Structure 1
Amino acid sequence: MAYADQKMSGNKLTAFIVVLLLHVFLLYALVTGLAYEAAKKVINKVTTVDIKEEVKKEEPPPPPPEQPKVEAPPPPVAPPVKINVATKPPPINTVSVAPPPAPVIALPAAPVAPPPAPPPPKGPTRAPEPRNNPGDWATTNDYPSRALREERAGTTGFRVTVGTNGRVVDCVITSSSGHADLDEATCKNVSRRARFKPALENGQEVQSTYSNRIRWVIPD
Protein backbone atom coordinates (compact mmCIF):
# COMPACT_ATOMS: atom_id res chain seq x y z
CA MET A 1 0.00 0.00 0.00
CA ALA A 2 2.86 2.41 0.76
CA TYR A 3 4.49 1.60 -2.55
CA ALA A 4 1.30 2.38 -4.38
CA ASP A 5 0.95 5.72 -2.64
CA GLN A 6 4.52 6.69 -3.48
CA LYS A 7 3.98 5.72 -7.09
CA MET A 8 0.86 7.89 -7.36
CA SER A 9 2.62 10.84 -5.74
CA GLY A 10 5.39 10.60 -8.29
CA ASN A 11 2.93 10.60 -11.13
CA LYS A 12 1.20 13.68 -9.76
CA LEU A 13 4.50 15.47 -9.50
CA THR A 14 5.40 14.62 -13.03
CA ALA A 15 2.01 15.82 -14.28
CA PHE A 16 2.38 19.07 -12.34
CA ILE A 17 5.78 19.73 -13.86
CA VAL A 18 4.50 19.06 -17.31
CA VAL A 19 1.57 21.43 -16.81
CA LEU A 20 3.87 24.10 -15.43
CA LEU A 21 6.15 23.84 -18.41
CA LEU A 22 3.23 24.16 -20.74
CA HIS A 23 2.08 27.33 -18.99
CA VAL A 24 5.59 28.82 -19.15
CA PHE A 25 5.82 28.00 -22.85
CA LEU A 26 2.41 29.53 -23.61
CA LEU A 27 3.27 32.67 -21.61
CA TYR A 28 6.48 33.06 -23.50
CA ALA A 29 4.78 32.60 -26.84
CA LEU A 30 2.09 35.09 -25.91
CA VAL A 31 4.58 37.74 -24.76
CA THR A 32 6.77 37.20 -27.81
CA GLY A 33 3.80 37.49 -30.20
CA LEU A 34 2.53 40.66 -28.62
CA ALA A 35 5.99 42.22 -28.73
CA TYR A 36 6.29 41.29 -32.40
CA GLU A 37 2.95 42.81 -33.27
CA ALA A 38 3.78 46.05 -31.41
CA ALA A 39 7.16 46.33 -33.14
CA LYS A 40 5.56 45.75 -36.51
CA LYS A 41 3.04 48.55 -35.94
CA VAL A 42 5.82 50.97 -34.90
CA ILE A 43 7.85 50.13 -38.02
CA ASN A 44 4.84 50.66 -40.29
CA LYS A 45 4.10 54.01 -38.66
CA VAL A 46 7.70 55.22 -39.07
CA THR A 47 8.26 54.04 -42.61
CA THR A 48 4.84 54.94 -44.01
CA VAL A 49 4.57 58.53 -45.23
CA ASP A 50 1.42 59.87 -46.85
CA ILE A 51 2.32 61.93 -49.91
CA LYS A 52 -0.58 63.89 -51.30
CA GLU A 53 -0.38 65.25 -54.75
CA GLU A 54 -1.32 68.86 -55.04
CA VAL A 55 -4.31 69.18 -57.30
CA LYS A 56 -4.09 72.22 -59.47
CA LYS A 57 -7.26 74.22 -59.66
CA GLU A 58 -8.42 74.68 -63.18
CA GLU A 59 -9.01 78.32 -63.99
CA PRO A 60 -12.36 79.13 -65.71
CA PRO A 61 -12.04 79.98 -69.42
CA PRO A 62 -12.20 83.69 -70.24
CA PRO A 63 -15.62 85.05 -71.33
CA PRO A 64 -16.18 85.33 -75.10
CA PRO A 65 -15.77 88.81 -76.55
CA GLU A 66 -18.91 90.86 -76.75
CA GLN A 67 -20.39 91.01 -80.21
CA PRO A 68 -22.12 94.14 -81.45
CA LYS A 69 -25.90 94.01 -81.24
CA VAL A 70 -27.62 93.74 -84.58
CA GLU A 71 -31.04 95.40 -84.69
CA ALA A 72 -33.75 93.27 -86.26
CA PRO A 73 -35.32 94.75 -89.37
CA PRO A 74 -38.83 96.21 -88.88
CA PRO A 75 -41.73 93.90 -89.82
CA PRO A 76 -43.14 94.43 -93.29
CA VAL A 77 -46.27 96.59 -93.37
CA ALA A 78 -48.80 95.74 -96.04
CA PRO A 79 -50.76 98.66 -97.55
CA PRO A 80 -54.46 98.75 -96.56
CA VAL A 81 -56.78 96.99 -98.95
CA LYS A 82 -59.36 99.26 -100.48
CA ILE A 83 -62.86 97.89 -100.24
CA ASN A 84 -65.45 99.33 -102.53
CA VAL A 85 -68.53 99.64 -100.31
CA ALA A 86 -70.51 101.63 -102.82
CA THR A 87 -71.65 98.56 -104.67
CA LYS A 88 -75.16 98.78 -105.97
CA PRO A 89 -77.43 96.24 -104.30
CA PRO A 90 -79.25 93.88 -106.58
CA PRO A 91 -82.78 95.03 -107.41
CA ILE A 92 -85.55 93.43 -105.39
CA ASN A 93 -88.82 92.90 -107.18
CA THR A 94 -91.76 92.73 -104.78
CA VAL A 95 -94.99 91.29 -106.03
CA SER A 96 -98.04 92.05 -103.97
CA VAL A 97 -100.34 89.10 -104.11
CA ALA A 98 -103.59 89.29 -102.21
CA PRO A 99 -104.15 86.32 -99.91
CA PRO A 100 -106.95 84.04 -100.90
CA PRO A 101 -110.25 84.86 -99.22
CA ALA A 102 -111.02 82.96 -96.08
CA PRO A 103 -113.52 80.19 -96.54
CA VAL A 104 -117.01 81.02 -95.41
CA ILE A 105 -118.16 78.70 -92.66
CA ALA A 106 -121.88 78.49 -92.24
CA LEU A 107 -122.75 78.44 -88.57
CA PRO A 108 -125.95 76.73 -87.50
CA ALA A 109 -128.70 79.10 -86.52
CA ALA A 110 -129.23 79.60 -82.82
CA PRO A 111 -132.29 77.80 -81.50
CA VAL A 112 -135.26 80.06 -81.00
CA ALA A 113 -136.11 80.53 -77.35
CA PRO A 114 -139.63 79.46 -76.48
CA PRO A 115 -142.01 82.26 -75.66
CA PRO A 116 -142.30 83.13 -71.96
CA ALA A 117 -144.97 81.38 -70.06
CA PRO A 118 -148.03 83.52 -69.41
CA PRO A 119 -148.26 84.89 -65.86
CA PRO A 120 -150.60 83.07 -63.54
CA PRO A 121 -154.05 84.52 -63.39
CA LYS A 122 -154.43 87.17 -60.71
CA GLY A 123 -157.41 87.38 -58.47
CA PRO A 124 -158.91 90.60 -57.17
CA THR A 125 -156.45 93.00 -55.45
CA ARG A 126 -157.71 95.25 -52.66
CA ALA A 127 -156.26 97.63 -50.09
CA PRO A 128 -157.37 97.31 -46.49
CA GLU A 129 -160.76 98.98 -45.84
CA PRO A 130 -162.10 100.23 -42.49
CA ARG A 131 -165.04 98.23 -41.12
CA ASN A 132 -166.16 100.93 -38.67
CA ASN A 133 -166.27 104.72 -38.89
CA PRO A 134 -162.77 106.30 -38.65
CA GLY A 135 -164.41 109.32 -36.94
CA ASP A 136 -165.18 107.14 -33.94
CA TRP A 137 -161.58 105.99 -33.48
CA ALA A 138 -160.75 109.15 -31.42
CA THR A 139 -163.45 111.38 -29.85
CA THR A 140 -163.54 114.43 -27.61
CA ASN A 141 -163.77 112.11 -24.66
CA ASP A 142 -160.25 110.85 -25.59
CA TYR A 143 -158.80 114.40 -25.47
CA PRO A 144 -155.81 114.49 -23.12
CA SER A 145 -156.86 116.46 -19.98
CA ARG A 146 -153.72 118.55 -19.84
CA ALA A 147 -153.94 119.48 -23.53
CA LEU A 148 -157.58 120.35 -22.93
CA ARG A 149 -156.78 122.64 -19.98
CA GLU A 150 -154.05 124.32 -21.96
CA GLU A 151 -156.33 124.51 -24.98
CA ARG A 152 -153.86 122.83 -27.30
CA ALA A 153 -155.06 121.46 -30.63
CA GLY A 154 -153.56 120.03 -33.85
CA THR A 155 -153.69 117.34 -36.53
CA THR A 156 -151.74 114.09 -36.27
CA GLY A 157 -150.98 111.89 -39.29
CA PHE A 158 -150.54 108.15 -38.72
CA ARG A 159 -149.96 104.87 -40.55
CA VAL A 160 -151.08 101.53 -39.22
CA THR A 161 -150.17 98.01 -40.29
CA VAL A 162 -153.24 95.83 -40.72
CA GLY A 163 -152.91 92.10 -40.23
CA THR A 164 -154.78 89.36 -42.08
CA ASN A 165 -157.34 89.30 -39.24
CA GLY A 166 -158.23 92.99 -39.84
CA ARG A 167 -156.73 94.28 -36.59
CA VAL A 168 -153.97 96.89 -36.19
CA VAL A 169 -150.54 95.34 -35.73
CA ASP A 170 -148.47 98.53 -35.51
CA CYS A 171 -148.93 102.32 -35.57
CA VAL A 172 -146.44 105.00 -36.68
CA ILE A 173 -146.83 108.82 -36.53
CA THR A 174 -146.14 110.22 -40.00
CA SER A 175 -146.79 113.92 -39.17
CA SER A 176 -146.84 115.35 -35.67
CA SER A 177 -149.45 117.74 -34.30
CA GLY A 178 -146.70 119.52 -32.41
CA HIS A 179 -147.78 118.02 -29.13
CA ALA A 180 -146.49 114.69 -27.94
CA ASP A 181 -149.56 113.90 -25.81
CA LEU A 182 -151.90 114.37 -28.78
CA ASP A 183 -149.70 112.14 -31.03
CA GLU A 184 -149.58 109.45 -28.34
CA ALA A 185 -153.37 109.57 -27.88
CA THR A 186 -153.83 109.16 -31.64
CA CYS A 187 -151.96 105.83 -31.99
CA LYS A 188 -153.35 104.56 -28.69
CA ASN A 189 -157.01 105.03 -29.64
CA VAL A 190 -156.67 104.00 -33.33
CA SER A 191 -154.89 100.75 -32.42
CA ARG A 192 -157.65 99.96 -29.90
CA ARG A 193 -160.75 100.83 -31.97
CA ALA A 194 -159.95 100.54 -35.69
CA ARG A 195 -161.18 97.44 -37.55
CA PHE A 196 -160.43 96.62 -41.20
CA LYS A 197 -161.18 94.33 -44.05
CA PRO A 198 -157.70 92.87 -44.74
CA ALA A 199 -155.99 93.53 -48.05
CA LEU A 200 -156.22 90.98 -50.86
CA GLU A 201 -153.48 89.99 -53.30
CA ASN A 202 -154.12 87.31 -55.94
CA GLY A 203 -157.23 86.38 -53.99
CA GLN A 204 -155.29 85.86 -50.74
CA GLU A 205 -155.58 87.97 -47.58
CA VAL A 206 -152.25 89.65 -46.91
CA GLN A 207 -150.80 92.12 -44.40
CA SER A 208 -150.78 95.72 -45.62
CA THR A 209 -150.77 99.35 -44.38
CA TYR A 210 -153.38 102.07 -43.98
CA SER A 211 -152.74 105.83 -43.52
CA ASN A 212 -155.04 108.61 -42.24
CA ARG A 213 -155.16 111.67 -39.91
CA ILE A 214 -156.85 112.63 -36.64
CA ARG A 215 -157.78 116.28 -36.01
CA TRP A 216 -157.79 117.32 -32.38
CA VAL A 217 -160.22 120.23 -31.79
CA ILE A 218 -161.17 121.68 -28.39
CA PRO A 219 -164.93 121.10 -27.88
CA ASP A 220 -167.27 124.04 -27.34
Structure 2
Amino acid sequence: MTDRPPTPADRALLDAAEHGDLAALRTALAAGANVEARDDEGRTPLLRAAFADRVAAAALLVGAGADVNAQDRQLNSPWLVTGITGSVPMMRALLPGGPDLTRRNRYGGVSVIPAAERGHVAYVRAVLGETDIDVNHVNDLGWTALLEAVLLGDGGPAHREIVEVLLAHGADPRLPDADGATARTLAERRGFHDLAALLRQAEEHPPSS
Protein backbone atom coordinates (compact mmCIF):
# COMPACT_ATOMS: atom_id res chain seq x y z
CA MET A 1 0.00 0.00 0.00
CA THR A 2 1.51 3.32 -1.05
CA ASP A 3 1.37 6.38 1.20
CA ARG A 4 1.84 8.80 -1.69
CA PRO A 5 -0.71 11.61 -1.30
CA PRO A 6 -3.39 11.53 -4.00
CA THR A 7 -3.16 14.13 -6.73
CA PRO A 8 -6.22 16.14 -7.79
CA ALA A 9 -6.71 13.68 -10.65
CA ASP A 10 -6.46 10.79 -8.18
CA ARG A 11 -9.12 12.35 -5.95
CA ALA A 12 -11.35 12.88 -8.95
CA LEU A 13 -10.95 9.22 -9.87
CA LEU A 14 -11.75 8.05 -6.34
CA ASP A 15 -14.91 10.17 -6.21
CA ALA A 16 -16.01 9.23 -9.72
CA ALA A 17 -15.63 5.53 -8.92
CA GLU A 18 -17.77 5.79 -5.80
CA HIS A 19 -20.49 7.69 -7.65
CA GLY A 20 -20.34 5.57 -10.80
CA ASP A 21 -19.61 8.58 -12.98
CA LEU A 22 -18.13 6.97 -16.08
CA ALA A 23 -17.40 10.22 -17.90
CA ALA A 24 -15.52 11.58 -14.89
CA LEU A 25 -13.66 8.27 -14.56
CA ARG A 26 -12.46 8.45 -18.13
CA THR A 27 -11.47 12.11 -17.73
CA ALA A 28 -9.48 11.39 -14.58
CA LEU A 29 -7.70 8.45 -16.16
CA ALA A 30 -6.87 10.53 -19.24
CA ALA A 31 -5.46 13.19 -16.90
CA GLY A 32 -3.02 10.64 -15.50
CA ALA A 33 -4.82 9.53 -12.35
CA ASN A 34 -3.33 6.50 -10.64
CA VAL A 35 -5.75 3.59 -10.96
CA GLU A 36 -4.41 2.34 -7.60
CA ALA A 37 -4.72 5.69 -5.80
CA ARG A 38 -5.69 5.43 -2.13
CA ASP A 39 -8.01 7.50 0.03
CA ASP A 40 -7.51 8.10 3.76
CA GLU A 41 -8.82 4.61 4.58
CA GLY A 42 -6.56 2.95 2.04
CA ARG A 43 -9.40 2.30 -0.42
CA THR A 44 -8.64 2.26 -4.13
CA PRO A 45 -11.09 3.55 -6.75
CA LEU A 46 -12.12 -0.03 -7.51
CA LEU A 47 -12.74 -0.79 -3.84
CA ARG A 48 -14.92 2.31 -3.52
CA ALA A 49 -16.84 1.24 -6.62
CA ALA A 50 -17.31 -2.24 -5.16
CA PHE A 51 -18.65 -0.93 -1.85
CA ALA A 52 -21.12 1.30 -3.73
CA ASP A 53 -21.98 -1.50 -6.21
CA ARG A 54 -21.07 0.66 -9.21
CA VAL A 55 -20.73 -2.25 -11.61
CA ALA A 56 -20.08 -0.32 -14.82
CA ALA A 57 -17.44 1.80 -13.10
CA ALA A 58 -15.80 -1.33 -11.72
CA ALA A 59 -15.73 -2.95 -15.15
CA LEU A 60 -14.07 0.14 -16.59
CA LEU A 61 -11.46 0.16 -13.83
CA VAL A 62 -10.75 -3.56 -14.21
CA GLY A 63 -10.26 -2.94 -17.92
CA ALA A 64 -7.79 -0.20 -17.00
CA GLY A 65 -5.78 -2.67 -14.93
CA ALA A 66 -7.13 -2.04 -11.43
CA ASP A 67 -6.16 -4.67 -8.86
CA VAL A 68 -9.21 -6.64 -7.70
CA ASN A 69 -7.20 -7.91 -4.70
CA ALA A 70 -5.88 -4.59 -3.33
CA GLN A 71 -6.77 -4.39 0.36
CA ASP A 72 -7.46 -1.34 2.48
CA ARG A 73 -6.44 -0.74 6.08
CA GLN A 74 -9.22 -3.08 7.28
CA LEU A 75 -8.16 -5.78 4.79
CA ASN A 76 -11.20 -5.30 2.55
CA SER A 77 -10.55 -5.82 -1.15
CA PRO A 78 -12.89 -5.32 -4.11
CA TRP A 79 -13.32 -9.08 -4.38
CA LEU A 80 -13.84 -9.66 -0.66
CA VAL A 81 -16.42 -6.87 -0.56
CA THR A 82 -18.65 -8.78 -2.96
CA GLY A 83 -19.20 -11.34 -0.21
CA ILE A 84 -20.42 -8.54 2.06
CA THR A 85 -22.70 -6.86 -0.46
CA GLY A 86 -23.80 -10.08 -2.14
CA SER A 87 -23.63 -8.42 -5.56
CA VAL A 88 -23.44 -11.09 -8.25
CA PRO A 89 -23.05 -8.50 -11.06
CA MET A 90 -20.07 -7.00 -9.23
CA MET A 91 -18.61 -10.44 -8.63
CA ARG A 92 -18.80 -11.16 -12.34
CA ALA A 93 -17.37 -7.75 -13.25
CA LEU A 94 -14.30 -8.52 -11.13
CA LEU A 95 -13.67 -12.05 -12.42
CA PRO A 96 -11.69 -10.86 -15.49
CA GLY A 97 -9.28 -9.20 -13.05
CA GLY A 98 -8.19 -12.57 -11.66
CA PRO A 99 -9.36 -12.46 -8.04
CA ASP A 100 -7.26 -14.29 -5.47
CA LEU A 101 -9.85 -16.70 -4.05
CA THR A 102 -7.60 -17.42 -1.06
CA ARG A 103 -7.17 -13.77 -0.03
CA ARG A 104 -8.49 -13.35 3.53
CA ASN A 105 -10.44 -10.59 5.22
CA ARG A 106 -9.66 -9.32 8.71
CA TYR A 107 -11.43 -12.33 10.20
CA GLY A 108 -9.38 -14.74 8.10
CA GLY A 109 -12.33 -15.56 5.86
CA VAL A 110 -12.86 -15.79 2.11
CA SER A 111 -15.77 -14.11 0.34
CA VAL A 112 -18.26 -16.98 0.56
CA ILE A 113 -18.23 -16.89 4.38
CA PRO A 114 -19.74 -13.42 4.98
CA ALA A 115 -22.12 -14.06 2.09
CA ALA A 116 -23.39 -17.22 3.81
CA GLU A 117 -23.77 -15.38 7.11
CA ARG A 118 -25.70 -12.50 5.55
CA GLY A 119 -28.13 -14.67 3.61
CA HIS A 120 -26.92 -13.77 0.11
CA VAL A 121 -28.34 -16.83 -1.63
CA ALA A 122 -27.68 -15.78 -5.22
CA TYR A 123 -24.08 -14.84 -4.44
CA VAL A 124 -23.31 -18.09 -2.64
CA ARG A 125 -24.76 -20.04 -5.55
CA ALA A 126 -22.84 -17.99 -8.12
CA VAL A 127 -19.46 -17.89 -6.40
CA LEU A 128 -19.52 -21.64 -5.78
CA GLY A 129 -20.76 -22.38 -9.28
CA GLU A 130 -18.46 -20.03 -11.19
CA THR A 131 -15.20 -20.14 -9.22
CA ASP A 132 -13.02 -22.67 -7.40
CA ILE A 133 -13.37 -20.96 -4.01
CA ASP A 134 -12.85 -23.30 -1.05
CA VAL A 135 -16.29 -24.09 0.37
CA ASN A 136 -14.67 -25.57 3.49
CA HIS A 137 -12.30 -22.70 4.24
CA VAL A 138 -12.00 -22.12 8.00
CA ASN A 139 -11.59 -18.52 9.21
CA ASP A 140 -9.67 -17.30 12.25
CA LEU A 141 -12.76 -17.78 14.43
CA GLY A 142 -12.87 -21.46 13.52
CA TRP A 143 -15.92 -21.14 11.28
CA THR A 144 -16.68 -22.32 7.76
CA ALA A 145 -19.39 -20.81 5.57
CA LEU A 146 -21.70 -23.64 6.67
CA LEU A 147 -21.08 -22.98 10.35
CA GLU A 148 -21.64 -19.23 9.91
CA ALA A 149 -24.87 -19.78 7.96
CA VAL A 150 -26.23 -21.71 10.95
CA LEU A 151 -24.62 -19.87 13.85
CA LEU A 152 -25.14 -16.32 12.59
CA GLY A 153 -28.13 -16.85 10.29
CA ASP A 154 -31.77 -16.62 11.28
CA GLY A 155 -32.78 -20.14 10.32
CA GLY A 156 -35.21 -18.82 7.71
CA PRO A 157 -35.70 -19.73 4.04
CA ALA A 158 -32.64 -17.84 2.77
CA HIS A 159 -30.23 -19.45 5.20
CA ARG A 160 -31.80 -22.85 4.67
CA GLU A 161 -31.26 -22.49 0.93
CA ILE A 162 -27.69 -21.40 1.51
CA VAL A 163 -27.08 -24.50 3.63
CA GLU A 164 -28.49 -26.63 0.82
CA VAL A 165 -26.29 -24.90 -1.77
CA LEU A 166 -23.19 -25.24 0.40
CA LEU A 167 -23.84 -28.93 0.96
CA ALA A 168 -24.46 -29.47 -2.76
CA HIS A 169 -21.05 -27.94 -3.48
CA GLY A 170 -19.16 -30.13 -1.05
CA ALA A 171 -19.41 -28.38 2.32
CA ASP A 172 -18.47 -30.92 4.98
CA PRO A 173 -21.14 -30.99 7.71
CA ARG A 174 -18.78 -32.88 10.02
CA LEU A 175 -16.31 -29.98 10.36
CA PRO A 176 -16.68 -28.56 13.88
CA ASP A 177 -16.09 -25.08 15.21
CA ALA A 178 -13.30 -24.26 17.65
CA ASP A 179 -15.42 -25.65 20.49
CA GLY A 180 -16.11 -28.93 18.73
CA ALA A 181 -19.70 -28.15 17.69
CA THR A 182 -20.85 -29.14 14.21
CA ALA A 183 -23.40 -27.21 12.16
CA ARG A 184 -26.06 -29.71 13.20
CA THR A 185 -25.28 -29.22 16.87
CA LEU A 186 -25.50 -25.46 16.45
CA ALA A 187 -28.80 -25.78 14.60
CA GLU A 188 -30.22 -27.90 17.41
CA ARG A 189 -29.07 -25.40 20.03
CA ARG A 190 -30.75 -22.56 18.17
CA GLY A 191 -33.99 -24.45 17.67
CA PHE A 192 -33.63 -24.69 13.88
CA HIS A 193 -35.20 -28.13 13.70
CA ASP A 194 -35.58 -28.29 9.92
CA LEU A 195 -31.97 -27.29 9.44
CA ALA A 196 -30.83 -29.79 12.05
CA ALA A 197 -32.68 -32.59 10.23
CA LEU A 198 -31.14 -31.54 6.91
CA LEU A 199 -27.66 -31.48 8.44
CA ARG A 200 -28.17 -34.81 10.19
CA GLN A 201 -28.99 -36.38 6.84
CA ALA A 202 -25.91 -34.72 5.32
CA GLU A 203 -23.72 -36.12 8.09
CA GLU A 204 -24.95 -39.59 7.24
CA HIS A 205 -24.03 -39.04 3.57
CA PRO A 206 -21.02 -36.67 3.70
CA PRO A 207 -19.21 -35.47 0.55
CA SER A 208 -16.70 -37.97 -0.79
CA SER A 209 -13.09 -37.02 -0.12
Bin for the TM-score computed over the shorter chain: under 0.3
Which has the larger share of helix?
A: 2
CA radius of gyration, larger in? 1
Higher relative contact order (CA 8 A, sep 6+): 1
Instruction: Pick the structure with more strand per residue.
Output: 1
TM-score of the superposed pair, with normalisation by structure 1: 0.14
Q: TM-score, normalised by structure 2?
A: 0.15
